[in-house]
Amino acid sequence: MTLLDRIKEISKKRGLSVKEVSKRAGFGERTIYRWDTNNPSTEKIKAVADVLGVSVDYLLGNADEMHTKQADTSKPIEVNLDEALQDKGMVMKFNGKDLSDTAKRGILNILEMLEEDKHDSK
């Protein structure tokens, strides 16, 4: 089984298209499809493995187990958005581009206004 075949298989199990996996990894929509004829960098393989919640070794066919020392991906990952938006060291992306600290502050301000409106309407 090729790297692309394995990515297709895991993506399907996760309810994702290969294009969606590619976008979530920060690549163009067709990037992963090109791996059928081109060799991707280690960094790109790791990014896809992270999106899919599997080990790089599993993606490469070097391991039979999907996870090595990873959390259970069947449970959703909880993120405290308030803390994440205030953390200047955290990299957040939207449409494949990093959000600036100013953008994160703006999102946090909007969420705080929504919370205030909810309390005011009661």
Neighbours of 34 (CB within 10 A): 13
**Any idea where the domains of the chain sit in the sequence?**
3-60, 81-120
Q: What is the mean pLDDT of residues 109-119?
A: 83
Residue 33's pLDDT band (cuts 50, 70, 90): very high
Is residue 22 a contact partner of residue 35, using CB atoms and an 8 Å limit?
A: no
Interval 72-105: pLDDT, tens: 555 565 667 777 776 666 667 777 788 888 888 8
Q: What is the mean pLDDT of residues 30-59?
A: 91
Is residue 86 a contact partner of residue 72, using CB atoms and an 8 Å limit?
A: no
Please report how the helices 3-13 and 42-52 are oriented relative to each other, as an axis angle in degrees rounded to 10: 20
CATH architecture of the domain formed by 3-60: Orthogonal Bundle (1.10)
